[in-house]
Amino acid sequence: MRRWLSYPYLVWMIMFITVPLLLIVFYAFTKQTDGGIVFSLDHFRQILDPLYLKVFLRSFKIAFISMLICLLIGYPVALFLSSKDFSQKSTYLMLIVIPMWMNFLLRTYAWLTLLENNGIFNKLLEFLGFGKVQFLYSEGAVILGTVYNFLPFMILPIYSVMVKIDESVISAAQDLGANSFQVLLKVMIPLSLPGVISGITMVFMPAVSTFVISRLLGGGQFALIGNIIEQQFLLTGNWGFGSALSFVLMVLVIISMFFMNANERNGKESML
Amino acid sequence: MSDYIIQLNNISKVFEDGFVALDNLNLSIKKNEFLTLLGPSGCGKTTTLRIIGGFEMPTEGEIVFQGQKINDLPPHKRKVNTVFQKYALFTHLNVFDNVAFGLKISKTPKNEIKERVREMLNLVNLQGFEKRQVESLSGGQQQRVAIARALVNRPEVLLLDEPLGALDLKMRKDMQIELKKMQEKLGITFIYVTHDQEEALSMSDSIVILNEGIVQQIDTPINIYNEPKNAFVADFIGESNIIDGTMLQDKLVHFCNKDIPCIDTGFAKNEKVDVVIRPEDIDIKNLSDAQWTGKVTSVIFKGVHYDITVESSDGFVWLLQNTDRQYEGDTIGMSVDPDDIHIMKKVIDL
Ligand SMILES: Nc1ncnc2c1ncn2[C@@H]1O[C@H](COP(=O)(O)OP(=O)(O)O)[C@@H](O)[C@H]1O
Ligand SMILES: [Mg+2]
């Protein structure tokens, strides 16, 4: 109907999504030679270097572990928040949402000061008579930062699916003999699966490509793929290689998301 | 042990907001009985079922199941099953898995589950629907899945909360007959909730009339219809003319400006009463023989009879049901036999 209303968005999309994507593909698959710009797979060959493969592997590992922790913490929280007897729902929801209003960088810097050698945690440990612990610049610190930053993105989609589950469906399961655990296993979990899937997607995707958390909390030691890409564009000026890395990351993320969704569809049919 | 399978003794339910949903409810249900809870929306029917099913705790009173008090038994341990108002099917499961849910929980052997689910789907006329997703079914089919899902567990008592409410008239009539047949065939006690008086009258062994959380009358359909205990029941069961009257003496009542003979006795002299007259009990007479006369204000054909409204000179609007057609604007005469006049004590409004 009012097609022209969508034109500003279309223009936006073309300028800031389609064109950059095409540029990435262009830079990734070409190289500058004396004879001008030619098609080349050199950049991709470079990625096969064990050094970079290791970074890819680490990025996926850290993102996966963070996502898993978010799920393990977030699912019970969502379950708890969505229960109908719980009256202070909105207060708790606010507490979860408020940190999201704060700048991402600030939140991460805050952890920096907390975990420092002279930070609050170490002060506390000292006070209690334990020795200092090197929290920062470890894999654990990166995972902690990732979980902290992305946990709301796990809780909220699961919560929003759960509150829509009809109370009478749970009653029906109890009526048919299911105890609380069986209700959870056979009704709540399958019915909240779409929320879990989008939660996983919303945590995993930004986690796998983050470079701020790994730089601030991981120091130089725990470079993730996002850091390497940033380096290629901002330091080395190797746009071709940076583009190739971005391209591979994108394809890998798309593939993993595709498997997730396929699993969900199968799950629906073969569940229990 | 008593003859009753379920007894509700002095059950009251006051919700957190102070609302009294049930007020001192007493109810005894025999084995294999088809008992219907009937009343207007909001009168506490669902609350009563939820208390029996274990989803709601009574504020006072006890629930007795086969002679044993079960107030503290959680829903999943009660030997009753429920057909919920909006079916409450498991949308993530297909028809077979919906029906098999209870049997899987009770760890019934696989072969037996298969056999019993098949049997039950035959009974509700859904053979061949095993693999269908429940969301792809029509309202009537979903409804039958819900019935099969409950019945397959062979409960002692089946609770049904307005199970036919969402169906169209034709389907509702068919399902009423099917449900009644099933109940007789399986010999299960049915506690059935409806706000449809016709449905209640045609299916039940006994009917409980509820209003505002208070039992008005418990009786067989015939007695409820012929001998309503008060004006509320009379009004709710079928249409009735309810007229303010004064009892002059035994067997003589004054209403609509006339002293009319009736058969009721035992009222105080000049006691204010409700006079209840069924529309089909009002005879159309010659103007000279009639007890009242009035002007016909509307005539609606209802298939077999006509619904006729007549306004008499004192301003009361009568509802008559008659197979003879009358004409709007005509003046007609009306009479009622003494034994068709029901005198009822006024319900005292607090
Ligand atoms: N959880 C609740 N809190 C407060 N009032 C309730 C609650 N559940 C039901 N009620 C009220 O109790 C009354 C009876 O409800 P219900 O048993 O569902 O009526 P119905 O006869 O229509 O099934 C209604 O007025 C309803 O608003
Ligand atoms: Mg109800």
Distance CA B82, CA B56 (A): 14
| Residue A103 vs residues B65, B222, B277: alpha-carbon distances, Å | 60, 74, 76
ipTM: 0.82
Which of A89-103, B90-104, B135-149, B208-222 comes out lowest in average pLDDT? A89-103
Reply yes or no on whether the pLDDT at A272 is more than 60: no
Closest residue by Cα to residue A147 from A67, A60, A253: A67
Q: What is the pLDDT of residues B15-65, one digit of tens each?
A: 999 999 999 999 999 999 999 999 999 999 999 999 999 999 999 999 999
Q: Is B303 left (phi over 0), alpha (psi -120 to 50) or beta?
A: left
> What local confidence, expressed as pLDDT, does residue A256 receive?
87
Distance CA B49, CA B78 (A): 13
pTM of the model: 0.83
Helices (H) and strands (E) in chain B, counts: 8, 20
Reply yes or no on whether the pLDDT at A269 is more than 70: no
Q: What is the pLDDT of residues B137-146, one digit of tens each?
A: 998 899 999 9
Domain extents in chain B: 4-231, 241-345
Place of tokens 């049919």: A269
Positive or negative: CA dihedral A225, A227, A228, A230: positive
3-class SS of residue B285? strand
> In Å, how far from its chain's centre is CA B105?
33
Strand partners, B219: B207
- φ and ψ at residue B30, rounded to 5 degrees: -80, 160
DSSP code for B94: B
Give yes or no for A171 touching B (CB within 8 A): yes
DSSP code for B267: P
Q: CATH 3.40.50.1100: does it fit domain B4-231? A: no
Distance B154 CA to ligand 1 centre (A): 29
Residue B267 identity = F
Positive or negative: CA dihedral B196, B202, B208, B209: positive
Q: Which residue blocks in chain B are alpha helix, DSSP H?
A: 45-53, 95-105, 110-123, 139-151, 169-186, 197-203, 221-226, 231-236
Would the CB atoms of B88 and A166 count as touching at under 8 Å? yes
The DSSP H or E segment spanning B306 is: strand B306-312
Q: Considering chain B, what is the average pLDDT of its residues?
A: 93
Closest residue by Cα to residue A196 from A263, A149, A252, A249: A263
Q: What is the pLDDT of residues A195-210, one digit of tens each?
A: 999 999 999 999 999 9
Give yes or no for A182 touching B (CB within 8 A): yes
Reply yes or no on whether the pLDDT at B349 is more than 60: no
Reply yes or no on whether the pLDDT at B70 is more than 80: yes
Would the CB atoms of A175 and B53 count as touching at under 8 Å? yes
Which residues are CB-contacts of A239 (< 8 A; sequence separation ≥ 6)?
A27, A232, A233
Q: Kindly state the average pLDDT of the residues A189-195.
A: 94
Distance CA A187, CA A170 (A): 7
Closest residue by Cα to residue B27 from B59, B5, B53, B50: B5
Encoded tokens for B295: 């002007």
Binding site membership of B42 for ligand 1 (Cβ less than 6 Å)? yes
Taking the CA of residue A267 and the nearest CA in chain B, the distance in Å comes to: 10
Q: Please name which ligand lies nearest the alpha carbon of B52.
A: 1
CATH of domain A42-271: 1.10.3720.10
Pick the CATH number of B241-345 from 2.40.50.140, 1.20.81.30, 3.40.50.300, 3.40.640.10: 2.40.50.140
Q: What is the pLDDT of residues B290-302, one digit of tens each?
A: 999 999 999 999 8
Encoded tokens for B269: 């002299």
Reply yes or no on whether the pLDDT at A271 is more than 50: no
Distance CA A117, CA A108 (A): 16
**B-chain residue closest to A267, CA distance:** B92
Beta strands in B235-287 (DSSP E): 241-249, 252-255, 258-261, 271-277, 282-285
Distance CA B315, CA B318 (A): 9
Atom of ligand 1 nearest to the CA of B48: 17
Closest residue by Cα to residue A231 from A15, A38, A55, A44: A55
Residue B249 identity = Q
Domain extents in chain A: 42-271
* Longest pairwise C-alpha distance within chain B: 79
Reply yes or no on whether the pLDDT at B286 is more than 60: yes
